[in-house]
């Protein structure tokens, strides 16, 4: 499947920030055949937040605009006010997302995952390295919604992807895998995912350029290009 990652901590023209702008991009992604969202709510000043009111507003707006779509939220520890405040914020949501992404390179990842399990919210386990994969496998976690293999803005990320996949296979982890990159690794990772039958994602959170290197003017252009790659490989978008 293909996931639309609409904003993250990106900024600039075309990056959706308000609930209305996120909802508009969600509806367009839905019209292109995508059924999964990943977004980062923002507060009134445009900063990333996990506080209840802006998070609830973003989720509600997207569900009203595209009720067929699953909505996921990023929970990075860098989002103010930090790890302790993050747990309090996550516990305070009144409108729950379908899933959240949790980075295994963050110390309190197990606590965040446990809280989500108690709330009945799915988890995308974010793995950035073989070390993250080792920690994930050692935790003996129950099955997750999916595993995110996440690559940095760097060239030649294939060896690290191979190491992570081998680690997960050896440990018998069978969750669906979503492979994605950032910056220069975004399109190579998406192409590899399409070729290998994995899920992937695209949007302004991961890159601001099209496969040919030209600047992307909006999420629509990014998602359309990714959908073309998936369809050419015979892979489903939903």
32: exposed, middle or buried (Cβ count in 10 Å: 0-12, 13-18, 19+): middle
Distance CA 195, CA 208 (A): 22
pLDDT of residue 236: 96
Instruction: Kindly list the structural domains of the chain, giving each domain's residue range(s) and its CATH number in brackets, ordered by start.
Output: 2-232 (3.20.20.70)
What is the model's pLDDT at position 97? 98
% of the chain exceeding 70 in pLDDT: 100
CA–CA separation, 41 and 205 (whole Å)? 12
Write a three-state SS string for the chain.
CEEEECCCCCCCCCCCCCHHHHHHHHHHHHHCCCCEEEECCECCCCCECCCHHHHHHHHHHHHHHCCCCEEEEECCCCCCCCHHHHHHHHHHCCCCCCEEEEECCCCCHHHHHHHHHHHCCEEEEEECCHHHHHHHHHCCCCCCCEEEEECCCCCCCHHHHHHHHHHHHHCCCCCCEEEECCHHHHHHHHHHHHHHCCEEEECCCCCCECCCCCECCCHHHHHHHHHHHHHHCCCCCC
pLDDT tens, position by position, 141-179: 889 999 999 999 999 999 999 999 999 999 999 999 999
Please write the tens of the pLDDT for every residue from 173-206.
999 999 999 999 999 999 999 999 999 999 999 9
Q: How high is the mean pLDDT of the chain?
A: 96
* pTM > 0.85: yes
Using one digit for the tens of pLDDT, what is the confidence trace for 33-86? 999 999 999 999 999 999 999 999 999 999 999 999 999 999 999 997 777 789
Q: What is the pLDDT of residue 84?
A: 76
pLDDT for the residue 85: 86
**Predicted pLDDT of residue 140:** 84
Between CA 96 and CA 91 the distance in angstroms is 10
Residue 131, token pair as written in the block: 């070390």
Give every strand in the sheet of 200-202, ordered side by side. Answer: 177-180, 146-150, 122-127, 99-103, 70-74, 36-39, 2-5, 200-202
């Amino acid at each position: 499947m293909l996931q639309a990652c609409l904003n993250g901590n990106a900024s600039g023209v075309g990056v959706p920030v308000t609930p209305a702008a996120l909802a508009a991009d969600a509806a367009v992604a839905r019209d292109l055949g995508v059924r999964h969202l990943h977004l980062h709510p923002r507060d009134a000043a445009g900063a990333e937040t996990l506080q209840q009111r802006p998070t609830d507003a973003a989720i509600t707006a997207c569900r009203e605009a595209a009720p067929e779509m699953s909505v996921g939220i990023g929970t990075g520890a860098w989002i103010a006010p930090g790890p302790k405040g993050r747990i309090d914020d996550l516990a305070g949501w009144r409108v729950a997302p379908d899933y959240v992404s949790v980075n295994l390179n963050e110390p309190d990842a197990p606590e965040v995952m446990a809280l989500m399990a108690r709330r009945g919210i799915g988890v995308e386990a974010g793995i950035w390295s073989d070390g993250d994969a080792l920690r994930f496998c050692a935790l003996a976690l129950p099955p997750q919604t999916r595993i995110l293999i996440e690559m940095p803005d760097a060239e030649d990320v294939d060896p690290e992807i191979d190491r992570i996949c081998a680690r997960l296979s050896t440990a018998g982890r069978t969750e669906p895998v979503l492979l994605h990159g950032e910056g220069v690794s975004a399109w190579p990772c998406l192409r590899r995912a399409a070729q290998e039958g994995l899920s992937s994602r695209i949007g302004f959170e991961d890159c601001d350029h099209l496969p040919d290197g030209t600047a992307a003017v909006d999420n629509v252009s990014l998602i359309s290009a990714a959908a073309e790659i998936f369809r050419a490989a015979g892979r489903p978008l939903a």
